[in-house]
Amino acid sequence: MLRCKSLLSQTINKKRKKNKSKNKNKNSNTRVSKKQNYEEEEDCEEGFNLKTSAAPSHTHGVQPLGNLYINPGSINSRNTGLGNLQTLTDELVLDILGLLGGTHLGVLATVSKSFYVFTNHEPLWRNLVLENLNAGFLYNGSWKSTFVAACYPSFDVSSVGVSGLRVSDFYSDYLFQSWLCANLEMKPEWLQRDNIIRRKGISVEDFVLNFEEPNKPVLLEGCLDNWVALQNWDRDYLLRLCGDVQFAVGPVDMKLQEYFRYSDQVREERPLYLFDPKFAEKVPKLGSEYEVPAYFREDLFGVLGNERPDYRWIIMGPAGSGSSFHIDPNSTSAWNAVIRGSKKWILFPPDVVPPGVHPSPDGAEVACPVSIIEWFMNFYGATKNWEKKPIECICKAGEVIFVPNGWWHLVINLEESIAITQNFVSRRNLLNVLDFLKRPNANALVSGTRDRVNLHDKFKNAIETSFPGTIDQLVQKAEEKKAQQKQSFWDSVTDSKVGAFKFSF
């Protein structure tokens, strides 16, 4: 069996020639869910490195589709094993399998080797577990194993999923890429660029003037020095404090100890991320062991009291977990403080859509690659030749990053990490937020609260009550600014008119 490194280099070289003749089925857009855009890499020569604990090749021997072309005369056993189902794309086959229950998925595995490989696709089992077992489940090495252990407790789970089935001549881009993204190491060159501005010990005025007002990101050092959390929060401490508290993990709730059990064993494209907006309410001690850094104390959504949208989260996740490109909701700004571990950040300004990302015209939906690693593999290279590069950095324990409102950002944990993040509204972006909340499709865009449609009015009234006249002041200021800019434009026009007049005369 060829080692993965050489497999991919070969694939990519062959793909260069084959791409013209290959029948691409309207592949120009990525869909919101699974469809992938397998574009060529400019720097393919180095190949890829797999995680040290990964197997050297796909569990069942799946190879990328390109390899089919280097094997003259070979037949794709994917097709023979699917019968007339072979005319459907991998995504469609998986969509259909996704509509079946766990029992039948298991039965189908014995239909043919091809079906075995398809039905063993972990995301199928992950969905079954998350949708059907939200009463609680114990992750058992793989999602399939977890499902079987939970639904058929009398069955000896140790024999499940560790099968030695290896198929020969099975070529599928989708299945191969899925495995690859789950097992890939971050390439060092993806981590090299670090061009964010770093500051330590600046004043609040300095921050507001140079970063908040002009809406620029910055990495602040030294503002967590007095956080108790920085000393205390490690796995053991948290387990002792709140090991059996349920935290929000994606679509389900899990006890912290169950989550750690999962994050230790998991190896998948898009690991579940612990992201809880009510952590301080659930465990008040956690809320007491950190404080908002001085720069971000003005938080106007506070006027809404308990009716304010979600604003603070504790974030925990294994290496490879994170968030793909998005803009924070409600037009708020954010700060993110790393307490343990380290995160790689990539930020694009509001008017620059990152490569590979396709927001819908109203901004409610964003289509982008399924996993963060996939974005790196296929789209990071595109930014190499841009004049204005994105802002990047690695944020380590004890550092805080300021994410200005409207900026696209992507985060990936480079190791197991614990962090706290808050979104806020200050006078500087109050008008933006009000505008955002006023939008006609508020109920799709506004997030973090159940009262989406009325939030604008509620918020505006609450501000008027607590800070009367503020909004009008800000509106006035903004109009003055606009007028100033307008004036200079007309000045220039008049000048040139005079010039032209002179000339023509």
Partner 1 sequence: MSNTSENPNPSSSSAKMTLKTSDNELFEVEEAVAMKFCTVKQYFEDEKDSDVAARGSTTVIPLPNVHSAVLTMLISYGKKLPQSNAVADNHEEEETKKKERKKYEQGLLKNLMPGELLDLISAANYLDFKEGLEFFNQALADHIQNKSVEYVRKFFGIKNDYEPHEEEKYREEYAWAFEGIECWLIGELKQFMAKTKTLDIAGTLLGIKPALIVASFSVRGLNSLDSNILKPEMIAPGENILAAWINAIGPTGLDSNT
Which residues sit at the interface with partner 1, rule CB under 8 A? 25-26, 77, 80-85, 87-89, 92, 95-97, 99-116, 148, 151-152, 155, 159-160, 163, 165
Given CA atoms 487, 489, 495, 497 in this order, what sign does their dihedral have? negative
User: Encoding tokens for residue 403?
Assistant: 């994410």
Residue 86: CB minimum distance to partner 1, A:
9
CB neighbours of 224 closer than 8 A, spacing ≥ 6?
Answer: 230, 290, 293, 337, 339, 398, 399, 400
Give min distance, CB of 326 to partner 1, in A.
24
Least Å distance, CB 33 to partner 1, is 12
Instruction: Please report which residue ranges of 99-156 form alpha helices under DSSP H.
Output: 102-108, 113-119, 122-132, 143-151
Q: Report, in Å, the least distance between residue 110 CB and partner 1.
A: 5
Q: Which is nearer to partner 1, 151 or 445 (CB)?
A: 151
Residue 433: closest CA among 413, 419, 448? 448
Cα 431 from Cα 451, distance rounded (Å): 20
Q: Could you tell me the smallest distance in angstroms from the CB atom of residue 161 to partner 1? A: 8
- Pick 99 or 135: Cβ nearer partner 1: 99
* Cβ 87 to partner 1 shortest distance, Å: 6
Helices (H) and strands (E) in the chain, counts: 20, 15
CB of 191 to partner 1, least distance (A): 38
Contacts 24+ apart (CB under 8 A), 474-480: 474/427, 474/430, 474/431, 475/431, 478/431
Q: CA–CA distance from 463 to each of 74, 118, 307, 418, 435 (Å)?
A: 70, 55, 13, 34, 14
Nearest to partner 1 of 367, 471 (CB atom): 367
- Nearest distance, CB of residue 58 and partner 1, angstroms: 18
399 has which bridge partners? Answer: 221
CA angle 430, 488, 478 (to 5 degrees): 10
Specify whether the CB–CB gap between 138 and 146 falls below 8 A: yes
In the chain, the amino acid numbered 349 is P
For partner 1, which is the closer residue by CB, 66 or 81? 81
Q: What angle do CA 470, 476, 479 make, to 5 degrees?
A: 140
Smallest distance from the beta carbon of 254 to partner 1, in angstroms? Answer: 24
Q: Are 193 and 185 in contact (CB under 8 A)?
A: no
- Do residues 290 and 229 make contact, with C-beta atoms less than 8 angstroms apart? yes
Q: At 355, list the tokens.
A: 């490569």
